Amino acid sequence: MNANPDFNNLARIVSRVMAADETMLGGPKQPFFFRASGRLTVESGAAFEELAAAVKPLGLVPVLREENGRHVILLVKDFARSGGSPRTNLILFILTLASVVFIAAFGAVPASAIPCETPATAAGGWKAYILALQWSLTHLGAGLPFALTFLAVLGSHELGHYLVGRKNHTAVSLPFFIPLPLPGFTPFGTMGAVISMREPPKNRNVLTEIGIAGPLTGFLVAIPLLIVGLMLSTVQALPTAPGPCESYTLEGNSILYLLAKLAVFGRMLPAPAHFDIPPVLYYLRLFFTGASSPIQGTDVITHPIAFGAWAGLMITGLNLIPAGQLDGGHLFYAIFGNRAGRILPWIIVGLVVLGLFWPGWFLFVILIFFLGRAHAQPLDTITPLNPRHRALAVLGLILFLLIFTPIPLQGFGG
């Protein structure tokens, strides 16, 4: 095997950075072209850079791992970085914009546009649904404030990932927005957007930068929009009980959303007609179960801009859940490495418990269980986080605690 010139050439390259005691070529069924194990003789970051430059002309990239206290270098085939046509991304964005505008208009249908029929019958329900569709299609402008605000947050989130990925020379796709124009079944008109990393990031520091860039950029865009939207909103008492043709949907509360309402209105909202338990316990119960939602109290009637910013922050909170391929999963892996997977069972249990109060969490549990168990490993897992990137990763997890919304939406009446 040592007579193979490719093997000898690769062994010489690896010897520059490693005292290897075991080397081998990969076979047809193995994921590597060349493997060496031993101890690095230079710092891992410098070793990666030297190897990457040396094997790039050969169509290879290095992968650095640590196994049982030994350093391992794998040389694997370079990743295909070519993407599809940007036209696909543009078309999907236009379709998503139209879908979000339409769904937002559907949600803004005034009660006067749908005659009240009592008692409610199946035929009456379908008639109301059709009337709401007709109104929304002829009043699409009513959906623009929410749609533009929401997509500004969502779009800036994805743009943050994209630009920082490009800055770090990591091949990433343009955002793929996912339209979902199903009135009555979706509150936002989209399933969000995704960016595909066409190659692993270089190391944990780069993974942290890419992972935090989206949530942080979206957060910075959402906050001023949320404050402006709340200033345009009103506070009013909710009816003691919705009438036969009345319905309400109340948005859930995160810690940051409660504080934003306190800053704008000077009091904690929602506020009940009276506290049946101490206020601190009341808001803890409200936060985690929604059970105290004040249908007999006072709440903010959100302006579409406020609701769009709230929705963008809520989606950001979902992305920061520290599991698998989510942004929070990237940050958690960057801090804890392979130990990050140990938290997954606890996350699933927590979401199942929350699903008892908001059934939408059950779908998220399924998605995380089947699609989110594997973390995105960088090429070099040996190089640790430096202090600055560790602080960024911790900032992302703190942001998750501030904007996570345990009970996103609650409907009353109907």
CATH code of 72's domain? 3.30.70
332, part of any domain = yes
pLDDT in tens, 288-313: 887 765 556 888 989 999 999 999 99
Same domain? For 53 and 181 the reply is: no
State percent of the chain over pLDDT 70: 88
What's the token pair of residue 345? 């069972």
Same domain? For 201 and 323 the reply is: yes
Domain boundary among 56, 77, 98: 77
Q: For residue 90, what pLDDT is reported?
A: 93
Q: What is the mean pLDDT of the chain?
A: 87
Q: For residue 1, what pLDDT is reported?
A: 38
* Mean pLDDT, residues 191-214: 92
Same domain? For 73 and 176 the reply is: no
Q: For residue 123, what pLDDT is reported?
A: 45
The per-residue b/e assignment along 102-128, b for 16 or more CB within 10 angstroms, e otherwise, is bbbbbbbbeeeebeeeeeeeeebeeeb
268, part of any domain = no
40, part of any domain = yes
* Mean pLDDT, residues 257-264: 96
Rounded to a whole number, what is the distance in angstroms from the first to the last CA of the chain? Answer: 75
**Helix (H/G/I), strand (E/B), else coil: 250:** strand
The per-residue b/e assignment along 28-63, b for 16 or more CB within 10 angstroms, e otherwise, is eeeebbbbbbbebeeebbebbbebeebbeebebbbb
Domains contained in the chain, number:
2
pLDDT in tens, 14-32: 999 999 989 888 877 778 8
List Cβ neighbours of 37 (8 Å cut-off, separation of 6 or more).
Answer: 20, 21, 22, 23, 67, 70, 71, 72, 73
What is the pTM assigned to this prediction?
Answer: 0.89
Q: For residue 70, what pLDDT is reported?
A: 92
111, part of any domain = no
pLDDT in tens, 218-236: 999 999 999 999 999 999 8
Identify whether the C-beta of residue 45 lies closer than 8 Å to the C-beta of residue 363.
no
The amino acid occupying position 73 is I
* pLDDT confidence bin for 120, thresholds 50/70/90: very low
Identify whether the C-beta of residue 218 lies closer than 8 Å to the C-beta of residue 159.
no
Short-list 16, 52, 60, 56, CA closest to 34: 60
* Mean pLDDT, residues 197-207: 91
260, part of any domain = no
* pLDDT confidence bin for 134, thresholds 50/70/90: confident
Q: For residue 5, what pLDDT is reported?
A: 47
Same domain? For 61 and 151 the reply is: no
337, part of any domain = yes
List Cβ neighbours of 240 (8 Å cut-off, separation of 6 or more).
Answer: 295, 296
pLDDT in tens, 139-193: 888 889 999 999 999 999 999 999 999 999 888 889 999 999 888 778 899 988 9
pLDDT in tens, 43-95: 999 999 999 999 998 889 999 999 888 999 999 988 766 666 789 999 999 99
Domain that includes residue 390, residue range: 143-230+306-413
Same domain? For 67 and 174 the reply is: no
Same domain? For 225 and 370 the reply is: yes
Same domain? For 56 and 149 the reply is: no
Q: For residue 210, what pLDDT is reported?
A: 95
Residue 94 to residue 348: CA distance in whole angstroms: 35
Q: For residue 140, what pLDDT is reported?
A: 85
93, part of any domain = no
